[in-house]
Chains A and B, each alone.
Chain A
Amino acid sequence: MALLQIAEPGLSAAPHQHRLAVGIDLGTTNSLVATVKSGAATVLPDEHGRSLLPSVVRYRDDGRTIVGFDAQAEQSRDPNNTIVSVKRFMGRGLADIQDVGRSPYRFVDAPGMVQLVTRAGHKSPVEVSADILRSLRERAEASLGGELIGAVITVPAYFDDAQRQATKDAAKLAGLNVLRLLNEPTAAAIAYGLDNGAEGTYVVYDLGGGTFDVSVLALTRGVFEVLATSGDSSLGGDDFDHRIYCWILEQAGLHGLSAHDTRLLLTRAREAKEALTEHADTRITAVLSDGQTIDLQLSQATFHAISKTLIDKTLLPVRKALRDAKIGAEDVKGVVMVGGATRMPQVQKAVGDFFGTPPLTNLDPDKVVALGAAIQANVLAGNKGDDEWLLLDVIPLSLGLETMGGLTEKIIPRNSTIPIARAQEFTTFKDGQTALSVHILQGERELVSDCRSLAKFVLRGIPPMVAGAARIRVTFQVDADGLLAVTAREIISGVEASIEVKPSYGLSDDEITRMLSDSIAHVADDINARKLREAMVDADSLLDALDVALASDADLLDEAERAALDEAMQALRDAMAAESTKDINACSHKLNQASEPFAARRMDRNIQRALTGKNIETL
Chain B
Amino acid sequence: MTADLFSDFQQDHFALFGLPRRFALDGAELDTLWRTAAAQVHPDRFASAGDTEKRVALMAATRVNEAYQTLKSPLARARYLLRLAGIDTAEETNTSMPPAFLMAQMEWREAIEDARHGHDVDALERLSRQLRQDVRAMEDELGAALDERHDHAGAALLVRKLRFLEKLDQEIGDAIEALLF
Chain A residues, CB < 8 A from B129: none
Distance, CA A149 to CA B180, complexed state (A)? 46
Q: With A10-B53, A607-B37, A610-B39 in contact, is A180–B44 under 8 Å at CB?
A: yes
Chain A residues, CB < 8 A from B133: none
Across the interface, B181 reaches (CB within 8 A) one of A316, A379, A485, A618, namely A316
13 A-B contacts (beta carbon < 8 Å): A4-B36, A7-B40, A10-B46, A319-B180, A323-B177, A390-B42, A421-B62, A487-B2, A538-B50, A541-B48, A595-B52, A603-B8, A612-B18
B173 within 8 A of A: yes
Chain B residues, CB < 8 A from A601: 8
A403 within 8 A of B: no
Residue of B nearest to A222 (CB): B39
Q: With A11-B45, A420-B62, A596-B55 in contact, is A541–B69 under 8 Å at CB?
A: no
Tell me the smallest distance from the CB of B69 to a CB of chain A, in Å. 7
Distance, CA A283 to CA B1, complexed state (A)? 60
Is B18 a contact of A595 with CB atoms below 8 Å? no
* Extra pairs beyond A420-B65, A473-B2 (9, CB < 8 Å): A4-B35, A9-B40, A320-B177, A380-B48, A545-B53, A592-B50, A600-B59, A603-B56, A618-B32
Distance, CA A606 to CA B59, complexed state (A)? 14
Residue from A485, A592, A599, A601 with most neighbouring chain B CB atoms (10 Å): A599
Q: With A11-B49, A380-B47 in contact, is A419–B40 under 8 Å at CB?
A: no
Residue of A nearest to B57 (CB): A603
Distance, CA A589 to CA B55, complexed state (A)? 13
A582 within 8 A of B: no
- Interface pairs A-B: 5 shortest CB-CB: A380-B47, A600-B8, A382-B48, A10-B49, A542-B50
Is B48 a contact of A320 with CB atoms below 8 Å? no
Q: With A473-B2, A545-B49, A545-B50 in contact, is A614–B32 under 8 Å at CB?
A: yes
Is A6 a contact of B39 with CB atoms below 8 Å? yes
Is B41 a contact of A606 with CB atoms below 8 Å? yes
Is A479 a contact of B58 with CB atoms below 8 Å? yes
Across the interface, A390 reaches (CB within 8 A) one of B3, B18, B32, B38, namely B38
Chain B residues, CB < 8 A from A607: 16, 37, 40-41, 60, 64
Chain A residues, CB < 8 A from B147: none
Residue of B nearest to A487 (CB): B1
Q: With A592-B50, A599-B52 in contact, is A419–B180 under 8 Å at CB?
A: no
Residues on A facing B (Cβ under 8 Å): 1, 4, 6-11, 19, 149-150, 179-180, 220, 223, 225, 316-317, 319-320, 323, 376, 379-382, 390-392, 416-423, 473, 475, 477, 479-480, 485, 487, 489, 538, 541-542, 545-546, 588-589, 591-593, 595-597, 599-601, 603-604, 606-608, 610-612, 614-615, 618
Chain B residues, CB < 8 A from A8: 45
Q: With A316-B180, A477-B1, A599-B56 in contact, is A179–B47 under 8 Å at CB?
A: yes
Distance, CA A596 to CA B42, complexed state (A)? 17
Is A323 a contact of B37 with CB atoms below 8 Å? no
Chain B residues, CB < 8 A from A10: 45-46, 48-49, 53, 57
Distance, CA A135 to CA B65, complexed state (A)? 38
Residues on B facing A (Cβ under 8 Å): 1-3, 7-9, 16-18, 29, 32-33, 35-53, 55-62, 64-66, 68-69, 173, 176-177, 180-181
Residue of B nearest to A381 (CB): B48
Residue of A nearest to B68 (CB): A417
Tell me the smallest distance from the CB of A311 to a CB of chain B, in Å. 15
Is A595 a contact of B50 with CB atoms below 8 Å? yes
Distance, CA A6 to CA B40, complexed state (A)? 7
Is A600 a contact of B3 with CB atoms below 8 Å? no
Chain A residues, CB < 8 A from B62: 419-421, 477
Q: With A10-B53, A545-B49, A603-B8 in contact, is A323–B176 under 8 Å at CB?
A: yes
Distance, CA A606 to CA B56, complexed state (A)? 13
Residue of A nearest to B55 (CB): A596
Tell me the smallest distance from the CB of B103 to a CB of chain A, in Å. 27
Residue of B nearest to A543 (CB): B50
Is B45 a contact of A611 with CB atoms below 8 Å? no
Tell me the smallest distance from the CB of B20 to a CB of chain A, in Å. 11
Residue from B9, B17, B45, B69 with most neighbouring chain A CB atoms (10 Å): B45
Distance, CA A485 to CA B53, complexed state (A)? 19
Is A390 a contact of B1 with CB atoms below 8 Å? no
Is B53 a contact of A391 with CB atoms below 8 Å? no
Distance, CA A485 to CA B5, complexed state (A)? 15
Q: With A419-B62, A485-B1, A614-B33 in contact, is A604–B9 under 8 Å at CB?
A: yes
Q: With A416-B69, A480-B43, A618-B32 in contact, is A423–B2 under 8 Å at CB?
A: yes
Chain B residues, CB < 8 A from A19: 48
Distance, CA A323 to CA B59, complexed state (A)? 30
Chain B residues, CB < 8 A from A597: 8
Residue from B8, B9, B40, B59 with most neighbouring chain A CB atoms (10 Å): B40
Is B38 a contact of A614 with CB atoms below 8 Å? no
Distance, CA A320 to CA B179, complexed state (A)? 12
Tell me the smallest distance from the CB of A415 to a CB of chain B, in Å. 11
Tell me the smallest distance from the CB of B75 to a CB of chain A, in Å. 14
Distance, CA A220 to CA B35, complexed state (A)? 10
Chain A residues, CB < 8 A from B51: 589, 592
Distance, CA A215 to CA B39, complexed state (A)? 21
Q: With A423-B3, A545-B50 in contact, is A480–B36 under 8 Å at CB?
A: no
Chain B residues, CB < 8 A from A610: 36-37, 39-40
Is B181 a contact of A611 with CB atoms below 8 Å? no
Residue of B nearest to A179 (CB): B47
Is B55 a contact of A4 with CB atoms below 8 Å? no
Chain A residues, CB < 8 A from B64: 607
Distance, CA A268 to CA B65, complexed state (A)? 50
Distance, CA A391 to CA B173, complexed state (A)? 28
Tell me the smallest distance from the CB of A328 to a CB of chain B, in Å. 11
Residue from A591, A597, A614 with most neighbouring chain B CB atoms (10 Å): A614
Is A419 a contact of B56 with CB atoms below 8 Å? no
Distance, CA A114 to CA B40, complexed state (A)? 42
Across the interface, A603 reaches (CB within 8 A) one of B44, B60, B66, namely B60
Is B177 a contact of A606 with CB atoms below 8 Å? no
Chain A residues, CB < 8 A from B38: 390, 392
Chain A residues, CB < 8 A from B57: 10, 603
Chain A residues, CB < 8 A from B32: 1, 614, 618
Tell me the smallest distance from the CB of B178 to a CB of chain A, in Å. 11
Chain A residues, CB < 8 A from B53: 10, 545, 595, 599
Across the interface, B56 reaches (CB within 8 A) one of A7, A588, A596, A615, namely A596
Tell me the smallest distance from the CB of A563 to a CB of chain B, in Å. 18
Residue of A nearest to B58 (CB): A419
Is B9 a contact of A596 with CB atoms below 8 Å? no
Tell me the smallest distance from the CB of B88 to a CB of chain A, in Å. 14
Q: With A473-B2, A607-B37, A611-B37 in contact, is A180–B52 under 8 Å at CB?
A: no
Is A480 a contact of B58 with CB atoms below 8 Å? yes
Is B37 a contact of A417 with CB atoms below 8 Å? no
Is A11 a contact of B52 with CB atoms below 8 Å? no
Residue from B1, B7, B50 with most neighbouring chain A CB atoms (10 Å): B50
Chain B residues, CB < 8 A from A418: 65
